[in-house]
Amino acid sequence: MDDRIDGRKTGKLKDNITRFRRDKRLAVAGLLRTLGLLGMLAIAVYCVFQFHEDLAPDNLRRMVSYVRAAGSMTDPFTEYRFEVGLNTDYAPFGPGLAVVSGDTYSYVSGLGDKNYAIQLDYRSPALCVSDKYVLIYDRGGHSFCVANGYTEYLRETLTSPIVSASMNPAGAFALVTDEEGYRSAVTVYSPKQKLLCKWLTSQYYVLSATVSPESDAFAVLCLSQSNLTPHTELRHFTVGSEEPDWTYDLGEKQVYSVTHDKSGGLLILWEQGVLALDSDGKRVKEQSFSAVPARFAASEGGELAVAFGDSPSISVWVIGEGGDTLWKGLITGTLHAIDCRGGAVSVLTGDTVYSAFYGGEEPSLRRMAQKSARDLIVDENGSTILVYSDRAGKIDFDGEAHK
């Protein structure tokens, strides 16, 4: 008898056979790979459209040289080389310094001779910096320029002289001009250097203007005169609007600066203290000083540092968003300069430099002796940079911290 079983008759053999199905993991991996490549392509296309102005061959070669030079450095640089003249302005920009003299704008990177420079012909040059751009203008002249550390974006000559200018962290800026046929005008440009609006007035003299962090509004500090008495008023506009959203009467008080804080509110430094307004023009807080400000440092979207008092005893305050006091301190000496950035405030006197980090839980005041510095600035990391006649150098406070 044959013991073999005919599977075709019983069907059991068919049930015991494992069916092989297609492995879906390979398809999923292929799909993810395709999506990854499409994502990289989308990013590349976005970068080309977003930064096409920076992709000129000269700019690319210059950026590559910066990267190579930076990669060859074993230690962080601590010194910038430039000559400080009577018509020189400077500010920290990126890892270096933006410097403008009468006929030249330079980006001093600290990487040897790999600096960028453009020729200008400005009699009274000044500059403002943002996160990505530098605005250079001729105060009392007609020309301005927008650049960064490796290229020039815009250069124009206006028909009217420039009174003042400001730039917000995004790169939008406002120019105040003494307009023929009017008293003043404010021209606002976008972060891409496109003209947004121009507001003209025959009623007021405009002292300064500041653009909001979102670049959709601007505030104008106006001066008028009644019976030989000056009168100051703050007017706030939505970009493109002829009429102000709101006004704030500052009376006969002398106003030193008006800047936006990070929230879009306004910090106003005047002779009796600091006034904070929100974006709707409502008073948030007011800080009163015991004396008229002697030196101050105000930056768009940042803090306000103020020094006041009679030598040798000087009070130093740092005011932040909404008018809050971030730090107070007392120093001694003859006041020369003050600056505030990166969570630190530094003060230069005749023979000493002071610095305080106020961002930590226990702010402390440090100091060290100095002899020949003529100015100081603070970079985005809170490092103090002393400016001499032929150079600027970062300093380390290795002395004891004074609480």
Can you give the pLDDT at residue 47? Answer: 58
Can you give the pLDDT at residue 15? Answer: 52
Please state, in angstroms and rounded to a whole number, the distance separating the CA atoms of residues 293 and 338. 12
Position 189 pLDDT exceeds 80: yes
In this predicted model, what pLDDT tens digit does every residue of 74-111 receive, in sequence order? Answer: 445 577 877 777 688 999 998 889 999 878 999 988 66
pLDDT band at 392 (very low <50, low <70, confident <90, very high): confident
- Average pLDDT of the chain, as a whole number: 84
Position 183 pLDDT exceeds 50: yes
Rounded to a whole number of angstroms, the CA Rg of the chain reads: 29
**Is residue 217 a contact partner of residue 201, using CB atoms and an 8 Å limit?**
no
Superfamily grouping for domain 293-403: YVTN repeat-like/Quinoprotein amine dehydrogenase (2.130.10.10)
Least confident of 2-11, 54-63, 250-259, 327-336: 2-11
Tell me the average pLDDT across 365-371.
92
Q: Is the peptide bond before 92 cis (omega within 30 degrees of 0)?
A: no
Position 5 pLDDT exceeds 50: no
Two tokens at 211? 């653009």
Q: Which helix (H) or strand (E) holds 40?
A: helix 24-50
Can you give the pLDDT at residue 142? Answer: 96
For residue 103, which of 143, 51, 63, 54 has the smallest C-alpha distance? 143
pLDDT band at 8 (very low <50, low <70, confident <90, very high): very low
Two tokens at 204? 């007021």
- SS3 at position 366: strand
- SS3 at position 7: helix
**Is residue 33 a contact partner of residue 25, using CB atoms and an 8 Å limit?**
no
Can you give the pLDDT at residue 140? Answer: 95
**Is residue 209 a contact partner of residue 234, using CB atoms and an 8 Å limit?**
no
Can you give the pLDDT at residue 122? Answer: 92
Tell me the average pLDDT across 271-279.
94
For residue 267, which of 324, 307, 218 has the smallest C-alpha distance? 324
pTM of the model: 0.81
End-to-end CA distance of the chain: 106
| 159 or 47, higher pLDDT | 159
Position 312 pLDDT exceeds 70: yes
- SS3 at position 52: helix
Please state, in angstroms and rounded to a whole number, the distance separating the CA atoms of residues 125 and 115. 19
Position 235 pLDDT exceeds 90: yes
In this predicted model, what pLDDT tens digit does every residue of 32-79 receive, in sequence order? Answer: 777 777 777 776 666 556 655 555 554 554 455 445 444 434 445 577
List the domain boundaries for the chain.
293-403
Please state, in angstroms and rounded to a whole number, the distance separating the CA atoms of residues 345 and 377. 9
Chain centroid to Cα 170, Å, comes to 8
Least confident of 143-147, 161-165, 252-256: 252-256
Q: What residues does 344 pair with on adjacent strands?
A: 341, 357
In this predicted model, what pLDDT tens digit does every residue of 284-308 receive, in sequence order? Answer: 999 999 899 999 999 898 899 999 9
Tell me the average pLDDT across 338-351.
94
Tell me the average pLDDT across 113-119.
77
Please state, in angstroms and rounded to a whole number, the distance separating the CA atoms of residues 231 and 243. 20
Can you give the pLDDT at residue 151? Answer: 94
Beta carbons within 10 angstroms of residue 37's beta carbon = 10
For residue 203, which of 225, 187, 174 has the smallest C-alpha distance? 225
Chain centroid to Cα 147, Å, comes to 14
Can you give the pLDDT at residue 203? Answer: 92
| CA 216 to each of CA 19, 119, 174, 197: distance values in angstroms, whole numbers, following the listed order | 65, 32, 12, 11
